[in-house]
Amino acid sequence: MPTRRVAATWRCLGLAAMACWACADAPPVDLSGPVAGWPEYGATQGGGHDSALTQITRNNLDRLQVAWSYHTGDVATGPGAKSSFQATPILVEDTLYFCSPFNRVIALDAETGEERWTFDPGVEPDDLYLLTCRGVSAWKDAKRPEGGPCAERIFSGTLDARLIALDRASGKPCRDFGEGGQVDLTVGIGNTEPGEYGVSSPPAVIGDLVIIGTLVLDNLRADAPGGVVRAYDARDGQLHWAWDPIVEAVADSPADPPERYRRGTANAWSILSVDPERNLVFVPTGNAPPDYYGGERDGLDYFSSSVIALNASTGELVWRFQTVHHDLWDFDVPAQPTLFDFRADGAAIPALVQATKMGHLFFLNRATGEPIFPVEERPVPRGGVTGETLAPTQPFPARPPPLHPASLDPNDAFGFTPWDRGKCRDRIAALRHEGIFTPPSLQGSVLYPGPGGGSNWGSVAIDRERRLLIANTSRLPFSVRLIPRAEIDDAGGWDPAGLSPMHGTPYAVETKPLLSPLGVPCSPPPWGVLAAIDIESGEIRWEVPLGTTRDLAPFPFWFAAGVPNQGGPIVTASGLTFIAASTDNFLRAFDTLTGEELWKGRLPAGGQATPMTYRTRADARQFVVIAAGGHGTLGTTQGDSLVAFALE
């Protein structure tokens, strides 16, 4: 049997054996309660990461054990790009579908973890800077006979810019989709650098359309590929509409290959949401390139760092809400817009909440884009570099309060010892530090919140019964320094450690985590938290540190400080919040009402992904599944495991 088809490693067999011994006298698992799946990346088309399941409770968490694990075999740990296993599987009937960091699509038996099929699109990892795939999507063709070839399809985007349709039953390409089962997303984009343009997030599906954005690598050049969002016919792959994020249409430009879409616009690299009832698709956008200097944008960032609502049938703009004006901090909108109903004066308002890297949560009416809680335009620091024009104000939500501190000055410096704390104090003092939205400078500026968040692509979870929003945030400071082009040329080239060229601008940029000589963040702990927000009042109900330094620092520095994190939470109707995300290798369960940590299960690698949960039938167990493959950039333990927990 091939290695990657082994559903349970010897290690997991050992864990299962110990679990059986420990639970030999325990009563059988109570199989009462609802059955529920996980058909979308965010559980539903509008996100939410919530489940109606109740089998796993705070009273039986001590019996939660590894049920099975699966190894993809796709992991890159060498000197080039390092892989990040960030996928959240979806469940269709009794099968899990997900993608590996190399874009292989995999189908597993949801009860046993046994491999049913795999599809390899032939992506070349050596050509890529980023190695991750966060998920796939499913679609059923109502016009085809049940069970016929490609009557049900799995859609996946690739890091080399293809949209692929696979038969859900067999994993074989649907040859009637595009050219032999795939669509080339580079058509109309123009020239791209290797690894510069691709897809890392699952497509959105509404009706018979597949809607997809793309990622564009940061800080390479001002004329980066355009951030167009496109809708394709789910049957034949024909382009149905394209939304080009520019204020006015432009004619095709002469290029080889031809450019149909304007270059240098904001892309949509994260997860889209759809509202079938209102026929809307919600697009979170990144900031226009390059991240840290906007003097050459000339209005191309009108739609950047925004939530965009489009007509799902036509791609026409319905409304726009911008979370950052003229973004110079890589504060692009990273998370899936999360849809829910807001209760006010006995009525339900169709709402969405948008989490941001700044730790701001914007509550919007999803039909109109109007804020539900007031949003205030507040003055922010001025004094940018030559050639830059800064926005005089930025939008701040009045509620909820920010989930991230807004400033870092020398007196806030942290260190394990007086020596490294002093070094941090000196480093902060040498930088420009005027709070959030301090502009990038030649001197160097504190970037706090940092480009990793606050919130990121893991999104938030909403417990609709308890009326709570659960969000994890990171608090890792960075420094950002602009370097005049002539100084870089005199130095004879680029320093690969944190330096990016920003071609087409007068500056290069250096961005680095702001760390002490001992490798600890210079900001005070906790460096990562989990919080609950009342979704009607906007009040923070509780906030607790998330994770420990166990797998990053040597003993005895395994203290519960709260650590940087990537990934997101899920909630269940039994009142539990499950999350991994932190830099230690654990999946945790918290009490959703109180924030009390109730349980943690050891993972074989970093769990920098969002988990999911399901129960396929009335006589089955509830599973909680998490990708444990680490995060190449965050530096957590790398691996290739998909791990399923269930009651023993």
Beta partners for 230? 212, 242
Neighbour-count burial of 141, counting CB atoms closer than 10 A to its CB (0-12 exposed, 13-18 middle, 19+ buried): middle
> If pLDDT is split at 50, 70 and 90, which confidence band does 553 have?
low
Q: How far is CA 25 from the centre of its chain?
A: 42
Cis before 454 (ω within 30)? yes
d(C-alpha 362, C-alpha 306), whole Å: 11
CA distance 49 to 578: 10
Q: For residue 7, what pLDDT is reported?
A: 40
3-state SS, 155-179, equals: EEECCCCEEEEEECCCCCECCCCEC
Complete DSSP assignment for 331-367? ----S--EEEEEEETTEEEEEEEEE-TTS-EEEEETT
Of 585, 474, 586, 490, the closest CA to residue 531 belongs to 474
Q: Lowest mean pLDDT of 35-49, 182-196, 229-243, 539-553, name the range.
A: 539-553
What's the rounded Cα separation, in Å, for the pair 631 and 633?
Answer: 6
User: The sheet that has 641-647: what strands, in order across it?
Assistant: 64-71, 641-647, 623-628, 612-614
Question: Of 457, 269, 460, 455, nearest to 352 (Cα)?
Answer: 460
How far apart CA 427 and CA 527 sit, in angstroms, is 18
Compute CA distances 567 → 453, 564, 587, whole Å.
11, 10, 11
b/e for 213-247, b at 16 or more Cβ within 10 A? bbbbbbbbbbbbbbbbbbbbebbebeebbebbbbe
Contact 90, 98 (CB under 8 A): yes
Q: 14 falls in which pLDDT band (50, 70, 90)?
A: very low
Amino acid (one-letter) located at 22: A
Where do the structural domains in the chain lie, given as residue ranges?
406-448+477-563
pLDDT at 248: 64
291-348 pLDDT, tens digit each: 999 999 999 999 999 999 999 999 999 999 999 999 999 999 999 999 999 999 889 9
Q: Which residues are part of the catalytic machinery?
A: 330
pLDDT at 483 over 80: yes
Residue of higher predicted confidence among 262 and 32:
262
Instruction: Give the distance, in angstroms, between the CA of residue 165 and the centroid of all CA atoms in the same chain.
Output: 23
- Asked if residue 548 has pLDDT above 50, the reply is yes
- Parallel, antiparallel, or unpaired for β 570-572 and 50-51? parallel
Could you tell me the two tokens for 194? 């290797």
Average pLDDT, whole number, for the chain?
Answer: 92
User: Considering the chain, what percentage of its residues have pLDDT values greater than 70?
Assistant: 92
User: Residues 398, 373: contact at Cβ < 8 Å?
Assistant: yes
Q: How confident is the model at residue 259 (pLDDT cuts 50, 70, 90)?
A: confident
Pairwise CA distance, residues 539 & 543, whole Å = 11
3 state SS for 226-285 = CCCEEEEECCCCCEEEEECCCCCCCCCECCCCCECCCCCCCCCCCCCEEECCCCEEEEEC
| Rounded CA separation 450/200 (Å) | 21
Q: What is the mean pLDDT of residues 219-225?
A: 95
pLDDT at 12 over 50: no
Task: State the pLDDT confidence band at 557, using cuts at 50, 70 and 90.
Answer: low
Residue located via tokens 């009832």: 277
Q: What is the mean pLDDT of residues 534-555?
A: 89
- Residue 201 in contact with residue 268, Cβ under 8 Å? no
